[in-house]
Structure 1
Amino acid sequence: MVNKFVCCLLLLIAATSTNAASTTTNSSAHSYLVSILGEYGYPICAGVLVKKNIVVTAASCLKFYNPDKLVVVVKNGTQIIQIAAYTFNRNFDFFTMESDVAVIKLAESVDAQYITLASKQRPTGASGVLIGWYSSNYAVEVDETIISAEDCVSGKYNFKNGDLFDTMLCGLAQPGACGFLPGSPLLSHNHLVGLASWGNGCGNKGFPAVYTDIASFISWIKSTEKSL
């Protein structure tokens, strides 16, 4: 339990890094990707627009910081928007990282791309792309492969039985994935399938990352965005 909490904190403070295994693109191609800034102006989390004024991100972004002092940066860093309302899943547990999902309502709408929520869990072996920030003007794409929970805790990696819940996904990246902010979106077939939640070691050493499984929370997300 303690290791998982520490790994989450490391994700929160890590700077996004890249190498040859990552693809850097202009973030205008990923205008759904947002950055959440803390009170001192530093990015603490990423998030994804799912409607013109709704952002889905990790619960840890709101639990470990004062949400009233956070702002959301969109459109290549050219627009800073205040948060009008927010909530995170009441079952979120910062020791197990279970239910690491939150919804933010923006104070104004954004003219940008929006991502559709995945309604079904992607099967083992499915490919995906993790999108994160390299800088305010560039996004990073890293290819991921979804692996089974059994494989994830089989002993090949730094995970053990009890670490993973049914509401989590394990994604194995090409070497080079490291330092992605919590809330960074995992996409598959242009659908949001996961949110970067926690990990135990960097992808460049062959360790998977653990994601919040969006399909497990789609009903909660949809009902929450209507109530905010």
Structure 2
Amino acid sequence: MANQFVCCLLLLIAATSTYAQFTTHSGIQGGVAAPSGERSYVVSVKDSGGSIVCGGALYNDVTVITVASCLVFLTPENLVAGVNNDTKTVKIVAHLSHPDYGFYTNEHDVALLKLAESVSAEYVKLPSKKPVTSSAGIVTGWDDSNTLVDVPETVIARADCVSGKYGYDDDDVFDSNVCGLADNQACNAIEGVPLVSNNQLVGLLSWGNACSNSANPAVYTDAFAEKSWIESNVNSL
């Protein structure tokens, strides 16, 4: 739990300076350019100044799945979504965070956003089962020039993630999380960017220590663990 406490403490400090923890985001380092015209399920959530504050995944034509931690210090009504590879901006008209989201733990770090208009793009499916250990996925986010880039990741079992060799323990990573190891070192991915495998949403980046690499897992909200809540609330926004 100490890992998340430090993370949240940094967020609180940054929040006193116009949400600097979001606006100073410098972009992913270590990614490779996403295929041209693909990954249109990736959504950028932006503040009123146009800065990307977090990522998300398009679930249907009007719904974005993102992380609740994205909305803590911001006024969701002032946010907009960048869709279709950031070529179109759409207003956000409703939002809902998981009622059991834990600010200090990041447990159940998931939220839904409703768009003001229908979007034609790729949509992600929710997974039919828990992520399989050693399965491969792709995290997609933005580099320092706001270009979409991919980071290949390998899913590891929660038991392995909290075994002690990565610096995490049972109080850090919950059943509602999944861990991933970047195949190559990648730094500065922003909260909410999606981890996808076979067009299924494996998870959303929640938190992590330093750069993600073969020795340092990133911690994601497990889309399968939150599937029931998402499906129960997606039509009520």
TM-score scaled by length of structure 2: 0.88
Deviation at residue 178 of structure 1 after TM alignment: 1.5
Equivalents in 2 of 1:181, 1:199: separation in Å? Answer: 10
Q: From the two aligned structures, give the one with the greater helix fraction.
A: 1
* Pairing 1:133-172 to 2, within 5 Å after superposition: 133-134=142-143, 138-172=147-181
Greater Cα offset, 102-111 or 3-12: 3-12
Q: What is the match of residue 48 of structure 1?
A: 57
Q: Which runs of 4+ in 1 moved over 3 A?
A: 5-14
Partner AA of 1:3 in structure 2: N
Q: Which runs of 5+ in 1 are unaligned?
A: none
Q: What is the match of residue 16 of structure 1?
A: 27
* Pairing 1:30-49 to 2, within 5 Å after superposition: 30-49=39-58
Q: What is the match of residue 18 of structure 2?
A: none
Q: Does 1:206 align with 2:220?
A: no
Deviation at residue 205 of structure 1 after TM alignment: 7.2
Q: Does 1:25 align with 2:34?
A: yes
Match of 1:58 among 35, 54, 67: 67
Q: What is the match of residue 221 of structure 1?
A: 230
* SS of equivalent to 2:117: coil
Contact conserved, 1:70 with 1:82, CA < 8 A, in 2? yes
Deviation at residue 175 of structure 1 after TM alignment: 2.6
Partner AA of 1:33 in structure 2: V
Contact conserved, 2:181 with 2:214, CA < 8 A, in 1? no
Contact conserved, 1:46 with 1:132, CA < 8 A, in 2? yes
- Pair 7,202 (structure 1): closer, same or farther in 2 beyond 3 Å: farther
Contact conserved, 1:16 with 1:181, CA < 8 A, in 2? yes
Partner AA of 2:3 in structure 1: N
Equivalent pairs counted in the alignment come to 226
Percent of residue pairs identical:
45
Contact conserved, 2:61 with 2:118, CA < 8 A, in 1? yes
* SS of equivalent to 1:4: helix
Q: Return the structure number with greater relative CO, CA threshold 8 A, min gap 6.
A: 1
Deviation at residue 142 of structure 1 after TM alignment: 1.1
Q: What's the Cα RMSD here?
A: 2.0
Greater Cα offset, 122-131 or 201-210: 201-210
Superimposed CA distance per residue, residues 42-90 of structure 1 (whole angstroms, 9 cap, x where no aligned partner) = 1110011010111000011112211111111112322111111110101
* Pairing 1:95-110 to 2, within 5 Å after superposition: 95-110=104-119
Deviation at residue 180 of structure 1 after TM alignment: 1.0
Contact conserved, 1:76 with 1:137, CA < 8 A, in 2? no
TM-score scaled by length of structure 1: 0.91
Partner AA of 2:232 in structure 1: S
Deviation at residue 217 of structure 1 after TM alignment: 1.1
- Pair 73,158 (structure 1): closer, same or farther in 2 beyond 3 Å: same
Equivalents in 2 of 1:3, 1:115: separation in Å? Answer: 30
Superimposed CA distance per residue, residues 82-132 of structure 1 (whole angstroms, 9 cap, x where no aligned partner) = 111110101000111000000011000111111111131112111111111
Q: Which runs of 5+ in 2 are unaligned?
A: 15-20
Superimposed CA distance per residue, residues 175-206 of structure 1 (whole angstroms, 9 cap, x where no aligned partner) = 32211111100011210010000001211473
Equivalents in 2 of 1:133, 1:27: separation in Å? Answer: 14
